[in-house]
Structure 1
C-alpha cells in the first residue's frame, strides 16, 4: 500500500510544510537553502510515518487479541449472550486488521523495481517496454548536450547500462533477441543522430585493444548473467548455496554432471582451468535432445564471451589466465 493511501497523511505533510514555512521565514534564508532543508525535513517525516502506522496497527492487534482472550475466558463460565456479542465484534475488528497486512493483487505488482504481472508470460514485455521508454528519455536529454562519440559511449555506460543490467539480471525468463535488436537501434540513434552511421555496431562493441570502442554488448552480458549461475551447480564448487541441495533432483543435475565431465575430460585436472578450450561435442548418452541443447548453449556462450577478451587460439594455462585477469582488474 502506498504511503499516501493512509488517511491523514496528506494533511500531515500539508501541516508540516506550513509549520516549516512559518518557523523559517527569515530574510537571510535563500530559496535554495530553504528548499533543500525542507526536503530533508519532509523526507524524515515521510520515512518515519509508515513505521509509525505499522507499529500502531500491531499495537491494536495485540490489544484486541488480549481482549478477545479475556472475553472468551469469561464466556466459558457465564455463557451469556452479551459477552458473545462482544466476542463477535472483537473478532470482526481483528479480521479487518489481519486482512490489511496482505493485499491481493489481481493484475500484478511491482517488487524491487521489477514488474510481476499475473500472467508470467507477459513479464518480459511488462519490464522491457517501460525500460525502453526510460532509455529514450535519457537519450533525448543527453542528445541536447554536444558530446563526442566517446562521451556518448561513456554516457551509456554510466547512465543507461546499470538500469539495463538490473532488469536483465532479475527477469527469470528468456528474453528474445528482438529486444536486444531494438536496444541496439536506440543506441545507434543516440550515437549518430540523423547523420549516417560511420561505424557498425559490432565495431563499436569490440574491445579497445583491437581498435574498438568498448560499447557494452548487452546481449552478451545477459548471457553471462545466466551462465554465471551454473557455477553453483558444479559438483566441486567450493561454496554451494543451500537451495542447490533442494533442486538437485531435476534435469539441471544432469546438465552440470555433463559440463563437469567435459571440463575434466578436456583438461584432466579440474574446472579451475580456462573455459576457452571447452568443446561442445557431446557423446550419445541417456540425455534428451532438449537437455543437450541447453548444455551446448551454456558451453558455447561461456566460450564466446571469454573469446572476446582473449584472442589466443589455444587455451592458456590457469596461472597465466589468472595473472592476466588480475592485471586487467
Structure 2
C-alpha cells in the first residue's frame, strides 16, 4: 500500500449536541484530505476504535473534567493503528501503535503521543480494553480507593462491561468476595460461570432489590459505582460501616436533560454518609498514572496464567460507530465495545 494512495480519512464528526439520548442525527460521516507529515508526525491507519461511556459527556458543552468535542470536530476515542509512514525516529512503517486518534479511518498524529504495541505479547484489541484504559480504571480505582481486604464483599455495577468485569476479578485476586450487578440472565450466568464471581444479580428482575440483599448477607464493604440510578439506590442501604465507594461512572444519568423529579434526597444521602462513615470518591484514571506499570505487570500476568478472563464485542465499519455507541449507552453490548475499522495485516 503506497503512501500516495492514502489521501483521505473517513471520519465521524459531531453534527449537533444531543438533548437527552443521542441519536444518529447527532453524528455526520465525512471524508477529508489528510495533511502532509511534518517532523515528528506519523501517518496511521486505524484498526480498532474503542467506544466508551465517557464519550457521551464529551458530546455535551456542560462543565466536565475534559473539554467537549466541538461541533464539526472528530469524535474522540482511543484507537489501535498501524503506521503507514513516519517522520518520527521512534516509529517506522508497519509498527502497531496505541493512539487517541478518534472516530476515523486514518490519522496524522504526533509521535510523542503514541505507544508502540507488540501483537506477539497480547492481542492488539486488548490495549483498548482489559490491558488498556478500562482495565487500568478498574485496577487503580479499586485498589487505590476501594482497597478491598480479604473476606470483604465487593459489589460492582455494569459488571460484564470492561471495567466491571475487571473489578470483580481483581477483587477475587485480593481475597474478597465479588458480587456483580448486570442486566439479564445471560450476563449474570457469564459472571458466575466464566469470570468466577461469587454471586450475580439481575437489575432487570422485578425482585432485584431482594436479590441484591440476599447476595450480600454481610453487607457491602466496597461498591464500585459505574451506573447510579436505581442500582445505586438499592446498594446504599446495604453499605457497611466504613464502606468505600469509588465513583467511576454514572451511565444511568448521562442522557438526563432535566433534574430528577420528586423530593430532594441529598439530605438523606449525606446523613447515611455521616452515620456509616462512608468514603465516596470520584476519580479520573489519569490521576493514578504511577500505578500503570504495576497494572500491566499484574493483569498481563494473570491473563497468561489463565486466571483472568475478558470478553470483546466487535462491530465492523467506522460508519457503524454511532449506532454501536448508542447501543452501548443502552446496555446492548456484552463485553468491551470495539469498532473494527480495518483488518490487521
Please, what TM-score do these two structures have when normalized by structure 1? 0.24
Structure with higher strand content: 2
**Higher RCO (CA 8 Å, separation ≥ 6 residues):** 2
Structure with higher helix content: 1
